[in-house]
Amino acid sequence: MALNRITLHLARSKEFPGGSQQHGYEFVAPLDVEGHLDAASWAAHRDACRVRRFWGAEEADLGHLVHRGGSQKGGSWAFTYDIAGDEDDEAGYRFGAHSFNIGDYVSIRDDDDVMHTFTVALVEPA
């Protein structure tokens, strides 16, 4: 299975009524034909499944997409930036159940425990 580069942009919110292309994530992940994250392919290519978090004027965070298993709705997925464990992960809300097709909405709980909604802006071969 091929890897895909997925770009998420912040969707409309109280703080950003028009959304924001300067706030989001770009990550590499394997997707099945319906656009769902593929855990088996992720396990085979986990080192290539990287993430870049860009948030306005802040310095970009670089990390990995991690899968924590679980059979219900594709398991638990998160972005981790600190392998040593000093920083909290950013958890994807039901990432295993959602598709990553252009125009889809997904949510991520950041390391401050705030949930943000994003639109899938781009999906292309990595």
Residue closest to 4 by CA, chosen among 44, 50, 43, 40? 50
Q: Give the pTM.
A: 0.91
Confidence check: pLDDT of 86 > 70: no
What pLDDT score does 6 carry?
Answer: 98
What contacts 111, CB < 8 A, 6 or more positions away?
87, 88, 89, 90
Average pLDDT on 99-123 reads 95
Region of residue 75 (phi > 0: left; psi between -120 and 50: alpha; otherwise: beta): left
Which of 3-12, 14-23, 80-89, 102-111 shows the lowest per-residue confidence on average (mean pLDDT)? 80-89
* Residue 97 in tokens: 């159940």
Place of tokens 């990995």: 64
Please state the separation of Cα 74 from the chain's center in Å.
Answer: 14
